[in-house]
C-alpha cells in the first residue's frame, strides 16, 4: 500500500488510504486491470476479516477505481472458418462426423458449450430444421440449422456405434464433458487459426460477430445467443465498428483527402 502511511495493521486501514494508494498506482503507470486486481485482493481480506469479527466496515467500499476498457472478444476470420469445413479436415469415420457436427453447431448457432453438452436427439427438428436449446435457467429457445449441418447431424446419429438420448457422445460412447469438447475445439481451431485461446466460447464470439458484420440486427443476434439483455450482445459491435472504420479509412474519398493515390 502507499508508503505515505506507516500503519502496518490492515484492519485499521482507512478509505482515504485506499484512495491514496490507487492514485499512487496510477501515477506509477499501472493499468486499470492491475489496479482492480490489487484492490480486489484487499477486498477479499476485508470479507475474511469481517466474517471473523476483526473488522466492522469495508474501507474500500466507496473507493472509485479507474474504468477498465472491455476487451474485444477474440474471433476467427470468416475465411478461416470456411477453410475449417473444407473436405479433408475431419476424419471420414463416425468420430470425424461427430466433430464436424459439433463444430458446425457451435459456429452456426452460437450455442454455449454447456448447451451443446446437454443436447438430446429429440432436440433436433428435422422437418423445420431447428434445434431446441436449453440455456441459462433452463430457458428454451430455438435456433435454425443450415441444410448441410442438418444432414451432418442426422448422418452422425445414424452412424454412431452407440444409441441413447445424448446427441453427441465421447469416443467411448459416454456423455460429453467440458474438457473433451474443449480439446476437440482447440484442436480444430488450431488447424486454421493462430489465436492463443481456441475455446468453444471463441466460436460463440465468432458466430455473433460474423452475423453483425453481414448486417444482422442486434436484437436478432441477442435472441439467437439467448442473452437476457441487449447490453450483453453489444460487446460484439466493437468488432463491427472496427471493421466499418477500416472500410472508411480505405475509402477513395479518404485517400483523396490525405493525398494518397
Strand, helix or coil for residue 131: strand
Nearest one of 109, 104, 165 to 135, comparing CA atoms: 109
Strand, helix or coil for residue 66: coil
Identified catalytic residue from 204, 205, 210, 222 = 204
Identified catalytic residue from 136, 243, 249, 256 = 136
What is the spatial distance between Cα 99 and Cα 78, in angstroms, rounded to a whole number? 19
Q: Tell how far CA 188 is from the center of its chain.
A: 17
Identified catalytic residue from 30, 50, 129, 201 = 201
Mark whether 5 is an active-site residue.
no
192 sits in the region (left: phi over 0; alpha: psi -120 to 50; else beta) called: alpha
Helix, strand, coil fractions of the chain, as percent rounded to 5: 55, 5, 40
Identified catalytic residue from 98, 112, 160, 239 = 112
Mark whether 183 is an active-site residue.
no
What is the spatial distance between Cα 133 and Cα 244, in angstroms, rounded to a whole number? 32
What is the spatial distance between Cα 153 and Cα 168, in angstroms, rounded to a whole number? 9
Mark whether 204 is an active-site residue.
yes
Mark whether 227 is an active-site residue.
yes
What is the spatial distance between Cα 74 and Cα 199, in angstroms, rounded to a whole number? 10
Mark whether 156 is an active-site residue.
no
DSSP of 207-227: HHHHHHHTT--HHHHHHHHT-
Name the H helices within 52-112: 78-84, 94-109
Catalytic residues: 112, 136, 201, 204, 227, 236
Amino acid at each position: 500500500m502507499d508508503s505515505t502511511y506507516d500503519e502496518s495493521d490492515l484492519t485499521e486501514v482507512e478509505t482515504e488510504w485506499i484512495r491514496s494508494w490507487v492514485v499512487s498506482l496510477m501515477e506509477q503507470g499501472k493499468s486499470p486491470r492491475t489496479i482492480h486486481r490489487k484492490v480486489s485482493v484487499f477486498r477479499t481480506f476485508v470479507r475474511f476479516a469481517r466474517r471473523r469479527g476483526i473488522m466492522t466496515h469495508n474501507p474500500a467500499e466507496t473507493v472509485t477505481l479507474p474504468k477498465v476498457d472491455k476487451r474485444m472478444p477474440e474471433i476467427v476470420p470468416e475465411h478461416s472458418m470456411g477453410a475449417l469445413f473444407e473436405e479433408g479436415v475431419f476424419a471420414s469415420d463416425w468420430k470425424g462426423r461427430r466433430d464436424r457436427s459439433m463444430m458446425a453447431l457451435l459456429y452456426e448457432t452460437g450455442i454455449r458449450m454447456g448447451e451443446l453438452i446437454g443436447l438430446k436427439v429429440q432436440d433436433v427438428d428435422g422437418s423445420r430444421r431447428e434445434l431446441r436449446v436449453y440455456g441459462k435457467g433452463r430457458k428454451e429457445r430455438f435456433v435454425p440449422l443450415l441444410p448441410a449441418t442438418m444432414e451432418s447431424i442426422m448422418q452422425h446419429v445414424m452412424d454412431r456405434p452407440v444409441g441413447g438420448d445424448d446427441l453427441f457422445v465421447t469416443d467411448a460412447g459416454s456423455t460429453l464433458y467440458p474438457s473433451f469438447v474443449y480439446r476437440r475445439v482447440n484442436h480444430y481451431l488450431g488447424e486454421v487459426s493462430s489465436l492463443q485461446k481456441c475455446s468453444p466460447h471463441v466460436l460463440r464470439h465468432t458466430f455473433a460477430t460474423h452475423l453483425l458484420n453481414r448486417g444482422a440486427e442486434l436484437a436478432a443476434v441477442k435472441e439467437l445467443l439467448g442473452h437476457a439483455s441487449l447490453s450483453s450482445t453489444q460487446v460484439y459491435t466493437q468488432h463491427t465498428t472496427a471493421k466499418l472504420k477500416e472500410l472508411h479509412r480505405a475509402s477513395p474519398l479518404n485517400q483523396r483527402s490525405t493525398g494518397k493515390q
